[in-house]
Amino acid sequence: MSDLSPMKNLDATPVIPARRPHLSGMAPRNEMPEHDARRLTGPAGLAHIRLGESLYTLRITRQGKLILTK
């Protein structure tokens, strides 16, 4: 009869979760700039964001989610 109780291997090596790799070229989360979406969008909840020649619209929905569209 084998003892399969969870207390059997208390001195086993703990399992440490793997770190999620960040995308190449991106700073770790604690080093990234942080912006408040409500300050960016103002009272209307809308803002234009330019990336090169493209213009995007950032919108806060009634449910409090962000939508970025081109």
Residue type, 34: E
Element (H, E) at 67: strand 66-69
pLDDT digits (tens, 9 = 90+) for 21-54: 556 666 676 788 999 999 999 999 999 999 999 9
* 4-22 residue pLDDT tens: 544 454 556 666 666 655 5
Q: Which residues contact 41 (CB under 8 A, 6 or more apart)?
A: 47, 58, 59, 60
Q: Is the model's pTM score more than 0.85?
A: no
Which tokens sit at 26? 């991106």
Let me know: does 67 contact 61? Beta carbons within 8 Å. Answer: yes
C-alpha–C-alpha distance, residues 25 and 40, integer Å:
24
Question: For the chain, which domains are there?
Answer: 36-69 (2.10.70.10)
Rg from Cα positions in the chain: 23
High-pLDDT (> 90) share of the chain, %: 54
